[in-house]
Amino acid sequence: MPALLAEAVEQSLAVSRDSDGAFDVTVSPLVRAWGFGAGAVEGGVPPTPADLDRLSETVGYRKLALRMQPPALRKSLPALEIDLDGIAPGLAVDRIADRLEALGIRDYLVELGGEVRARGRSAAGRPWRVAVRCRSRNSVDPMRWSNSMTSACPPQATTGTSGTSPDGASRTPSTRVPPLR
């Protein structure tokens, strides 16, 4: 098992423990049942409560053990899967930013899949501005959405965005400052 994969699983398990399972690195079967993620069936029917109960038995970060040296995973259930989609983009952004800093670059903005890390200033010498489209229900017609933009100008920050993007992908907002390591 590659060390980088072990690092991602280690951080995922830490977040799973710290959130008491609200974030769970083994959630793939449930995500797929709702029509998202790898192997999801587009246009499928929502899972029944019985489906969710059955699938919940194949989920649980406590059913996964990680050894860092040498890196290895042990599953207590053969059907257990890991899903790093919730943490991998942030880790990738952090690694890219670390590499830029190792090269002596002090002003940068890195964005990957809604994960943003900024440091210093733009080429124009101004603070970085990151725009995030915010959609809200129109107060006159609740079935219509209004678009607005919001921006942040952090001197050094890491931000994760989520919600529903123009391509229909679903995301949920979160921000972390300074970057997680």
Residue 83: inside a domain: no
Distance CA 92, CA 6 (A): 14
> Do 49 and 104 fall within a single domain?
no
Q: In tens digits, what is the pLDDT along the chain, a chain of 181 residues?
A: 999 999 999 999 999 999 999 999 999 999 999 888 888 877 778 899 999 999 999 999 999 999 999 999 999 999 999 999 889 988 999 999 999 999 999 999 998 888 888 899 889 998 888 776 655 555 555 555 555 555 555 556 555 555 544 444 444 333 333 333 3
Domain with 8 in it: what CATH number?
1.10.3980.10
Q: Within a domain: residue 80?
A: no
What residues make up the domain containing 35?
3-75
pLDDT number for residue 71: 96
Q: What is the pLDDT of residue 113?
A: 80
The pairing of strands 108-112 and 64-68 is unpaired
Q: How far apart are CA 156 and CA 174, in angstroms?
A: 16
CA-to-CA distance for 39 and 79, rounded, in angstroms?
15
pLDDT of residue 178: 35
Whole-model pTM? 0.69
Place of tokens 């709702």: 34
- Residue 24 DSSP SS3: coil
In a domain, 155, yes or no: yes
The verdict on 67 and 131 lying in the same domain is no
Look at residue 156 and give its three-state secondary structure: strand
Measured CA to CA, the distance from residue 172 to residue 175 in angstroms comes to: 10
Domain boundary among 22, 45, 75: 75
Domain boundary among 17, 44, 75: 75
pLDDT value of position 97: 94
Q: Say how many domains are in the chain.
A: 2
Instruction: With respect to residue 152, please indicate whether it lies within any of the assigned structural domains.
Output: yes
Which of the listed residues 48, 75, 102 is the one where a domain comes to its end? 75
Rounded to 5 degrees, what angle do the CA atoms 172, 175, 178 make? 155
- The reported pLDDT for the residue numbered 130 is 77
DSSP output for 51-105 = HHHHHHTT--GGGEEEEETTEEEEESSTT-----TTTHHHHHHHHHHHHHHHTT-
